[in-house]
Amino acid sequence: MKNKVYIGWDPRETLAYDVAEYSLKKYSNNLDIKALKLSEINNILNRPIEWRGNQMWCPISEAPQTTEFSISRFAIPFMEKGWVLFADCDIIALENIDELFDQADPQYAVMVVKHQQKVGSSEIKMVDQASVYYNRKNWSSVMLINCNHPAHEELTLHNLNKWPGRDLHAFKWLKDEEIGELDNKWNHLVDINDNLLLNKATILHYTLGGPWISGWEPKESDAKWNEMYKEFDNQ
């Protein structure tokens, strides 16, 4: 049976999605990859979304929502059984991620890289898209989900559709001991984590944006994404 993977999909970031999917398939033919599209799960997720200028806004959270998959990732336990990997679309894999599934430990409901980011920090993503600090920020951007774990029963459809996004991203329904820890190499935050660790990373996460964005100002750290894009484009 192939390992199940969902990649967040947003119509404004289709190129990022395509390159992320290509990079995962480059190193493994044992993956069942699906795009997590908000429009396809409205029977599960029916939270209101507003637009304020060019910015998506979540009235429940009273905060900006950067992408369509900001919340939809938490619908996965309602959709699947067994272990599932979720990743934001602004990632590329540099090695075979089947190794990540080999680390799946049934005592945990989710397994994530437990990033420690400065309290109160904020950033601009996707050009003019604000992103604000919340507890356990970026933990949910790459997560190995044990959909069969009984702790997910606390995440009801009511909670999924009524809790502020910051509570969902902080895994409010889980106890600390139900959240397993992955090595930082599985979700290296480009230009946030120590760049000295860049060459040890298995998954690069361009959470601050990248060359697929119109008007993006090139950075030295774009190099690996650009290399993967060229491979994808030359298929």
Give the pLDDT confidence score for residue 199 in this predicted structure. 84
Structure tokens at 229: 């894009």
Nearest to 152 by CA among 46, 79, 65, 71: 79
Q: Name, in order, each residue with C-beta under 8 angstroms of 8's C-beta and a sequence gap of 6 or more.
A: 17, 36, 67, 68, 69, 72, 73, 86, 87, 88, 89
Checking phi first, is residue 36 left (phi over 0); if not, alpha (psi -120 to 50) or beta?
Answer: beta
Domains: count for the chain: 1
The CATH number covering residue 123 comes to: 3.90.550.10
**Scanning the structure block, which residue is given the tokens 């109160």?**
120
Q: What number is the average pLDDT over the span 15-25?
A: 98
95-152 pLDDT, tens digit each: 999 999 999 999 999 999 999 866 444 444 554 444 555 689 899 999 999 999 999 9
| Contact of 8 with 72, CB cutoff 8 Å | yes
Q: Give the CB-side neighbour count of residue 142, counting CA atoms within 13 A.
A: 27
Read off the pLDDT band of 194 (50, 70, 90).
confident
Alpha-carbon dihedral of residues 118, 70, 220, 188, nearest 10 degrees? 60
Residue 231: what are its φ and ψ, rounded to 5°?
-60, -45
Distance between CA atoms of 235 and 195, rounded to whole angstroms?
Answer: 30
44-65 pLDDT, tens digit each: 999 999 999 889 999 999 999 9
Could you tell me the CA-to-CA distances from 214 to 48, 131, 206 in Å, in that order? 27, 18, 15
Instruction: Express as a percent the part of the chain with pLDDT over 90.
Output: 87
Structure tokens at 58: 């979540």
Give the pLDDT confidence score for residue 134 in this predicted structure. 64
Q: Name, in order, each residue with C-beta under 8 angstroms of 37's C-beta and a sequence gap of 6 or more.
A: 9, 68, 72
165-192 pLDDT, tens digit each: 999 999 999 999 999 999 999 999 999 9
Range name among 16-25, 63-72, 88-97, 189-198 with the lowest pLDDT average: 189-198
Structure tokens at 80: 């699947």
Give the pLDDT confidence score for residue 118 in this predicted structure. 62
Alpha-carbon dihedral of residues 133, 159, 147, 152, nearest 10 degrees? 100
Segments forming the whole domain that contains residue 60: 3-233
Could you tell me the CA-to-CA distances from 29 to 8, 24, 76, 218 in Å, in that order? 20, 9, 22, 32
